[in-house]
Structure 1
Amino acid sequence: MDRQKISRLAHADHPIAAPLDDDSVRRLLARGVPHGDARVLDLGCGGGEWLLRALAEHPGLTAEGVDISEISLAHARETADRLGVRERLVLHRQDAAGFAARHRFDLVLCVGATHAFGGLLATLAAAREHLAPGGRVLVGDGFWEGEPSAEAIEMLGDLTDLPTTLEQVVADGWTPVGGHVSTREELDDYEWSWTGSLASWALDHPTDPDSAQALEAATTHRDEWLRAYRGALGFLCLVLRPTRD
């Protein structure tokens, strides 16, 4: 079963493809969008949830999204049509790390997709290349909230604790002007939704050739979450401005 299809099915019933609830998303966008006619870019936009919310909130805003998943981009187009914001949204199917835009953006987003660039600092370096003077970056990534097991480190990579993560960001030339650390409720709700949506699809489509694999993927993901990284992995969103333009 295609990993992009698994991801789309798993995220079908959650408000955003990250461990954030609706109010957290609203507050981060309010802090991140500098003005109502801003240009916004999402690197690794998935189904475009961040962009669609920003477009619905600001009638003068224009947005572009970049992602490799055609199934997610198709979902974004359909939702944009339904919301009546399609004419202000441009979507690019390509690797976000190789994206070259014709202009700069007032807000650059990358939430839950820093793996596309090789980590948080590499993501910020890429975002800086797209950022207009006075612009902001909204980035979301994992950090170690508790002591990770060897299995969690092998699975999730070279993360640091929260203070060290902030120190690295500041040392890289950024100043946080907003942020959010996902609560335990948000983290657990996201994981239950991810595994539950995928498992429900499998049970609702027992004759589909992908059904068994989808159910197996949901079970494996749930076991990894509960046994390997629940209680150790946290999720941080930061609204950043360059310390010096």
Structure 2
Amino acid sequence: MTTASDQPPRLTRLTFHGPLSESRADRIVERLTAAGPRTVLDIGCGWGELMLRVLDAVPTATGIGVDLKAEDLDRGRTAAKERGLGERVVFAEESATDTARGPADLVLCLSSSHALSSTAPPRATVDALHALRRLVEPGGRVLLGEGFWQREPTAKELAAMWPGADAGEYLPLGGLVDAAVEAGFRPLWVETASAEEWEEFESGYRSDVEEWLATHPNHPLAAETRTRVDAQRASWLHGYRGVLGIAYLTLVPVG
């Protein structure tokens, strides 16, 4: 029988759940807090690291993070308490689809647009942008972190990605920004994750589990964990590396 302490560690070496460097995060927080947001809503927040940094930078702001993964929400609550932000933020374990949370001055949605729509991609991205338009206050800001194809993937690359990967699954960067404009936004800032940020994220995503596998080769969970991690790594290195990008769009609602 295995206990919680026997389990492979999970994401302990990641600061952000995505390819986002400290320097880029600092610039984004500075940009987002310039308008002095009073309320922050984080969709698919995970442990809400960027939201907590915004709250730390704006002492009068309050935040709500919404996610379905209890483990990540607990990590966020612990971090908030350690930083003296516990009274100013709520981590809610609930679905974001048709959420009644908001509107807020600042809405964060980092690689979580799927939480706002049940339709198939890339229509889900379009629907999510319209949902974000409803969730932001007039004069507010939205930060959308969203995948896009840096170039059209080959059949071989698609076959190496996740099950059911399809060339129509993501928009190109220009199409993504166009969709944001059509949903009622102006793109205040358009930036994309670098190759270095991707490598930091992908390596950090698996690093603690890889070390665990090296030191627990005969553990009852080792075979299952090894299969899963090897498949994840292969999906990146043989599939979407250099093909899938992440854009960070700072959006301003029109009107």
Q: TM-score, normalised by structure 1?
A: 0.87
Q: 1:135 aligns with which of 128, 132, 140?
A: 140
How many residue pairs get aligned? The number is 236
Whole-Å separation in 1 of the counterparts to 2:220 and 2:64: 35
Whole-Å separation in 2 of the counterparts to 1:33 and 1:240: 13
Greater share of helix: 1
| Percent of aligned pairs sharing the same letter | 33
What are the residue-to-residue correspondences of 1:40-55 with 2, within 5 Å? Answer: 40-55=40-55
- Report the equivalent of 1:4: none
CA shift, 1:221, in A, is 0.5
- Report the equivalent of 1:3: none
What are the residue-to-residue correspondences of 1:195-214 with 2, within 5 Å? Answer: 195-203=206-214, 209-214=220-225
Q: Indicate the structure (1 or 2) with the bigger Cα radius of gyration.
A: 2
Q: Does the 8 Å contact 1:28/1:179 carry over to 2? A: no
- Report the equivalent of 2:182: 171
Amino acid at match of 2:116: F
- Report the equivalent of 1:69: 69
Alignment of 1:229 onto 2:240:
yes
Structure 1 regions of 5+ residues with no counterpart? 1-7
**Equivalent residue of 2:97, what SS?**
helix
Map Cα deviations across residues 43-85 of structure 1 (whole Å, 9 max, x no partner): 1000111111112222111100000000000101111111111
> For the structure 1 residues 33 and 123, does the alpha-carbon distance in structure 2 shift closer, same or farther, using more than 3 Å as the test?
farther
CA shift, 1:37, in A, is 5.1
Q: Does the 8 Å contact 2:46/2:69 carry over to 1? A: yes
What are the residue-to-residue correspondences of 1:43-192 with 2, within 5 Å? Answer: 43-101=43-101, 103-118=102-117, 119-150=124-155, 151=158, 152=161, 154-155=164-165, 158-192=169-203
Q: TM-score, normalised by structure 2?
A: 0.84
CA shift, 1:165, in A, is 1.6
Map Cα deviations across residues 197-244 of structure 1 (whole Å, 9 max, x no partner): 332344455676544333322211000101111111111010101122
Q: Does the 8 Å contact 1:107/1:131 carry over to 2? A: yes
Structure 2 regions of 5+ residues with no counterpart? 1-7, 118-123
Whole-Å separation in 1 of the counterparts to 2:221 and 2:165: 25
> For the structure 1 residues 165 and 9, does the alpha-carbon distance in structure 2 shift closer, same or farther, using more than 3 Å as the test?
farther
Root-mean-square deviation (Å):
2.2
Map Cα deviations across residues 116-162 of structure 1 (whole Å, 9 max, x no partner): 23432222222222211211110011111123123259426611211
Q: Does the 8 Å contact 2:138/2:253 carry over to 1? A: no
Q: Does the 8 Å contact 2:33/2:58 carry over to 1? A: no
Q: Which range moved further: 196-205 or 127-136?
A: 196-205
Q: Which range moved further: 55-64 or 155-164?
A: 155-164
Whole-Å separation in 2 of the counterparts to 1:140 and 1:221: 21
